Structure 1
């Protein structure tokens, strides 16, 4: 059963159109990779789902409900968790305060988040501004998990991180897939890593869904054509 479904979504930033027809579906417990070259509409699609960007046509359905008219905080309450590009932690709050600020009752609490990312336990009284980039990314993921979402969206969660830190982030994502059954929508450039975790992929080109299918069917010809890798 579909948890999230987008049909022919179009969206603009003022007069500049970003999305021309995005079709996307995520089932309960499924991991979907949202892929494409830079500037093809991946982050804009995430913003539309999160209601940070209004769409002008098409539909955004979450668990059978049209959420197109919801403000961002209501979309979050409906079960959407976002790890945004650029992390955006509350710089003047401690690690603990960042996590508590987002907390909603459910499976994910402080103990489970810090078990997933032990470094957050070690640094829980530090201001988030003092953390390394990798630690801030762990905090951003932990903060999103503390909202106890039904769908977690990761927008370039490994961008700009050192290789060893990227591997820590990917290990955590694999844990989320294998142990929690949480639905995930993942934007990332690492095809090799996405192949390990994603059930299906959606590829965007110029704001349009140009390929959708099982990850196993995403062969080298498709990757060369649409991803340039």
Structure 2
């Protein structure tokens, strides 16, 4: 069953069109990888479906709701959990305060979250600004999970992290896929890791969907044409 669907979505930054015809679908319990070279519209797609960038055309539906008609906070309450590019933790709040600030009732609570990211339990009373980059990324993911979302949106969740921390983040994503039943839409450049967790893939080229299908079918021809340097 489709949880999120975008159909020929367009969007602008001022007078510049960033999205032309973005079409994708995320089913219940599915992991979708959103792929493309830098500047092809991946983050803009995430921001547009969350309402942070207004959609100029097309259709965005989440669990039967027309997201184009809702402000971002209403979309979030429907079950969108965003982990934005750049983390954007509340620097002057502690780890626990960051996690509880947006918490909503549901299966994700501090106990369960600390099982996923034990380091957050160890740093519970520490200010977010004092955490390492990897710890801040765990905190950003944890904060989104504490909203008890139905769809987790991960925008470049492993970018710029040390290899060992990247492994921890990918292990957490694999655990979420296996144990939580969450739907996940993720943007990342690591094809090797994506192939281990993603069910489906969508490739963007200049703000338009140019390929979609099972991740297992994403072959060398497509990756060389649209993802290669």
TM bin, normalised by shorter chain, reads over 0.9
Q: Which runs of 5+ in 2 are unaligned?
A: none
Instruction: Measure the CA separation in 2 of the matches of 1:5 and 1:46.
Output: 12
CA distance in 2 between counterparts of 1:67 and 1:10 reads: 14
Query: C-alpha distance in 1, partners of 2:120/2:213?
Result: 36
Per-residue CA shift, 1:43-88, capped at 9, x if unaligned? 0000011111100100100011111121111110011000000000
Which residues in structure 2 correspond to 1:152-191 (within 5 Å)? Answer: 152-191=152-191
Match of 2:103 in 1: 103
Other-structure match for 2:15: 15
In the other structure, the counterpart of 1:139 is 139
Aligned-partner Cα distance in 1 for 2:46–2:54: 11
In structure 1, the partner of 2:35 is 35
Alignment correspondent of 2:221: 221
Query: Gaps spanning 5+ residues in structure 1: where?
Result: none
Q: 1:88, 1:218 → 2: CA distance?
A: 32
Q: What is the CA–CA distance in structure 1 between the aligned matches of 2:193 and 2:68, rounded to whole Å?
A: 32
Deviation at 1:173, TM superposition (A): 0.1
Partner of 2:67: 67
Q: Which structure 1 residue ranges, 4+ long, deviate > 3 Å from structure 2?
A: none
**TM-score, scaled to structure 1:** 0.99
Q: Offset at 1:219?
A: 0.6
